[in-house]
Amino acid sequence: MAIKITRKSDLKIGVPTASMPDIIFQLLIFFMVTTVLREYSGLQVSLPGAKKIEKLESKRNVSTIWIDRQNRIVCDDVTIKDIKELRTVAYNKLVEQPRLVMSLRVDKDADMGIVIDVHQELRRANTLKVNYSALQVL
């Protein structure tokens, strides 16, 4: 007499994925609610006025350089101590984003010499798309 022994080899081990979309959706909502988008206000700058103003189509490819009346320079959160540092900062940003536009926000009482120096350093860094920010005068 032969006894037949059958083995259960079809044991399926798996992770239940029925509630996976619910979990992903809850995580998405959580991170959307808790994420704070920080907008850098820059230096205290009183912008000059202009009669014709055009708005940039996208702020995604814009890097802002702030110059206040004490001629302090800040480029997107990075304080520029020496004007020559601006060339490396601008070049590194241009390498990251080839369609970069540098937006200059210059106080109306700032020295024009520092603005020219900033423009020259941007030219040396091959950052040739420069935008000057101003307030609209009616």
For 81, half-sphere exposure in the C-beta direction (CA atoms, 13 angstrom radius) is 0
Residue 42 lies in a domain: no
Number of domains the chain is built from: 1
Residue 22 lies in a domain: no
Q: Which pLDDT does position 26 carry in this prediction?
A: 93
CATH of the domain at 100: 3.30.420
What separation in angstroms does the CA of 89 have from each of 8, 10, 93?
66, 61, 6
pTM score: 0.61
Residue 40 lies in a domain: no
Domain span holding position 125: 49-136
Tell me the pLDDT tens digit for each residue of 35-84: 887 666 666 666 666 666 666 666 778 888 888 888 889 888 888 888 88
Residue 15 lies in a domain: no
